[in-house]
Amino acid sequence: VTRSVARPEGVRLAERVLAVGGDDLPGPLRAAVVQLGGVIREQCPATGVLTQGGRVTAVQTAAETFLADAVVLATGAWSALGLAGLAAAPQIRPIRGQMLLFKLAPGVLDTILYRNGLYLIPRRDGHVLVGSTLEDAGFDKSTDGATRQRLHAEAAELLPALAAMQPVRHWAGLRPGSPDNIPVIDRHPDFGNVFVNTGHYRYGVTLAPASAELLVDLMEAKPPALDPAPYCWQAALERTW
């Protein structure tokens, strides 16, 4: 990054290089995995595992059984289902977040706005993302009109141009909620070749590179790139909602 890019105006000009919207990530990431020899199976839910001698030897799905040298549990808001049956497991649960999307002319908003938990994030094409709620509603991804109106009103207080506009999209997603927003990145206590990487709450994309680096270090028994203590299994058990 040059000095000219590091200045605020330079960062905006180089945004395409320095940042990418969350909606744009899956495609390039998928392509990178495939290029490295990975295989992605979609609509293929795991139904069980085969174990032997304190290890998971295979993962079963409705279509076929996959043999495994190592298994990573990184199933987001659904991670508690994979940890079911343990006497003590980290407290991961789904937290619903409702969001709105508006379409403005490009350049109307060129910086992120934030106040009291509400954020407005502009995109290069003029779209503005407004979010988000924090709702303990289980796996219910439905939206409601009252929340839509509240988010719209609060967003318009930050950016009056939104007051006369209607959102082009209103949806909800599920975050892997964890106490204190601290993820669990560690070896499974019952199976030596199973690793857990979950509970990132609102910061999954932000923390993904460092989380993956730490996870790989643990899997390959290398000196970790960062202190793993805050993210270990035992530390997660000590945190409560």
* CATH number (domain holding residue 205): 3.50.50.60
**pLDDT average, residue stretch 197-214:** 94
Q: Do residues 84 and 97 share a domain? A: no
pTM, rounded to two decimals? 0.84
| Last-in-domain residue among 150, 177, 204 | 177
Number of domains present in the structure of the chain: 3
Q: Do residues 47 and 66 share a domain? A: yes
Q: Do residues 65 and 113 share a domain? A: no
CA distance 119 to 24: 19
| Last-in-domain residue among 177, 192, 225 | 177
Predicted local distance difference test score (pLDDT) of residue 83: 80
Q: Which domain holds residue 19?
A: 3-32
Nearest alpha-carbon partner for 203 in 163, 229, 231, 235: 231
Q: Do residues 189 and 226 share a domain? A: yes
| Last-in-domain residue among 177, 195, 214 | 177
Q: Do residues 110 and 152 share a domain? A: yes
Burial of 92 (0-12, 13-18, 19+ CB in 10 A): buried
Q: What is the DSSP string of 130-180?
A: EE---B--TT-----HHHHHHHHHHHHHH-GGGTT---SEEEEEEEEE-GG
Query: Looking at this protein, which amino acid is placed at residue 131?
Result: G
Tokens describing residue 43: 């609509």
Predicted local distance difference test score (pLDDT) of residue 197: 97
- CATH code for the domain in which residue 106 is found: 3.30.9.10
Higher pLDDT, 241 or 142: 142
Average pLDDT, the chain: 90
pLDDT band at 87 (very low <50, low <70, confident <90, very high): low
Predicted local distance difference test score (pLDDT) of residue 93: 95
pLDDT digits (tens, 9 = 90+) for 3-56: 554 555 555 555 555 556 666 678 888 999 999 999 999 999 888 899 999 999
pLDDT band at 209 (very low <50, low <70, confident <90, very high): very high
Q: Do residues 87 and 203 share a domain? A: yes
Q: Locate tokens 């009291």: which residue?
A: 116
Q: Do residues 135 and 185 share a domain? A: no
Q: Do residues 134 and 60 share a domain? A: no
Predicted local distance difference test score (pLDDT) of residue 82: 80
pLDDT digits (tens, 9 = 90+) for 160-205: 999 999 999 999 999 999 999 999 999 999 899 999 999 999 899 8
Q: Do residues 22 and 85 share a domain? A: no
**pLDDT average, residue stretch 137-153:** 98
Q: Do residues 172 and 101 share a domain? A: yes
Q: Do residues 160 and 108 share a domain? A: yes
Q: Do residues 74 and 100 share a domain? A: no
Predicted local distance difference test score (pLDDT) of residue 21: 62
